[in-house]
Amino acid sequence: MHVSKRKKILLFIDSLVGGGAQRQILTLARCLHDSGYDVSVLTYRNEEQLRYLLDEKNIEHHVIEKKSKLDLLFIFRLYKYFKVIDPDCMISYLNTPNLWGRLAGRMAGIKKIITSERNLDIDKSRVRIVLEKLIFRLSSCIVVNANAIKSLLIEKGIPADKIQVIYNGLDLQYFKPVPLPEAEHFRASYGVLKADRLFLLPGRIMAQKNHLSLIRAVLTRVDVFKSAKLIFVGNEFDKKIKKDLVGLLAGTEIEGRVIFAGPQTDMPLVYSAADFVVLPSLWEGLPNVVIEAMACFKPVVVTDVADNAYIVRDSVDGFVVPAADDSKLADVLERCMAMEDKDISSMSQSARNRAEELFGIDKFLASYERLINS
Three-class HEC string of 191-231 = CCCCCCEEEEEECCCCHHHCHHHHHHHHHCCCCCCCCEEEE
* Mean pLDDT, range 321-330, rounded to an integer: 98
Count the neighbouring beta carbons within 10 Å of the beta carbon of residue 149: 26
* Mean pLDDT, range 8-13, rounded to an integer: 98
Question: What's the Cα-to-Cα distance from 257 to each of 23, 203, 280, 330, rounded to whole Å?
Answer: 30, 18, 19, 16
pLDDT band at 15 (very low <50, low <70, confident <90, very high): very high
Quote the crossing angle between the two packed helices 341-358 and 288-295, to the nearest 10°: 120
CB neighbour list of residue 48: distance below 8 Å, 6 or more residues apart: 16, 61
Residue 136 above 60 pLDDT?
yes
Encoded amino acid at 80, one letter? K
Query: pLDDT tens digits, residue range 270-324?
Result: 999 999 999 999 999 999 999 999 999 999 999 999 999 999 999 999 999 999 9
pLDDT band at 121 (very low <50, low <70, confident <90, very high): confident
The shares of helix, strand and coil residues in the chain, as percent rounded to the nearest 5, are 45, 20, 35
* Mean pLDDT, range 215-221, rounded to an integer: 97
Query: pLDDT tens digits, residue range 48-66?
Result: 899 999 999 999 999 999 9
What is the Cα–Cα distance from 23 to 267, expressed in whole angstroms? 12
CA end-to-end distance (rounded Å), the chain: 12
CB neighbour list of residue 346: distance below 8 Å, 6 or more residues apart: none
Question: What's the Cα-to-Cα distance from 46 to each of 8, 51, 66, 73, 261, rounded to whole Å?
Answer: 23, 10, 10, 18, 24
What is the Cα–Cα distance from 28 to 20, expressed in whole angstroms? 12
* Mean pLDDT, range 9-18, rounded to an integer: 96
> What pLDDT sits at residue 69?
83
Which one has a higher pLDDT value, 119 or 300?
A: 300
Residue 126 above 90 pLDDT?
no
What is the Cα–Cα distance from 274 to 232, expressed in whole angstroms? 11
What is the Cα–Cα distance from 44 to 66, expressed in whole angstroms? 6
Tell me the sheet residues that pair with 162.
Answer: none
pLDDT band at 3 (very low <50, low <70, confident <90, very high): very low
Helix (H) or strand (E) segment spanning residue 91? strand 89-92
Query: pLDDT tens digits, residue range 74-112?
Result: 999 999 999 999 999 999 999 999 999 999 999 999 999
pLDDT band at 123 (very low <50, low <70, confident <90, very high): confident
* pTM, rounded to two decimals: 0.88
Query: CA angle 201-116-291, nearest 5°?
Result: 30
pLDDT band at 70 (very low <50, low <70, confident <90, very high): confident
Contact 113, 281 (CB under 8 A): no
pLDDT band at 338 (very low <50, low <70, confident <90, very high): very high
Which domains does the chain show, CATH number per domain?
8-169+360-373 (3.40.50.2000), 180-358 (3.40.50.2000)
Phi and psi at 78, nearest 5°, equal: -65, -45
> What pLDDT sits at residue 127?
86
Residue 2 above 70 pLDDT?
no
What is the Cα–Cα distance from 95 to 15, expressed in whole angstroms? 13
What is the Cα–Cα distance from 265 to 258, expressed in whole angstroms? 20
* Mean pLDDT, range 326-351, rounded to an integer: 98
- % of the chain surpassing 70 pLDDT: 99
Residue 335 above 70 pLDDT?
yes
- % of the chain surpassing 90 pLDDT: 92
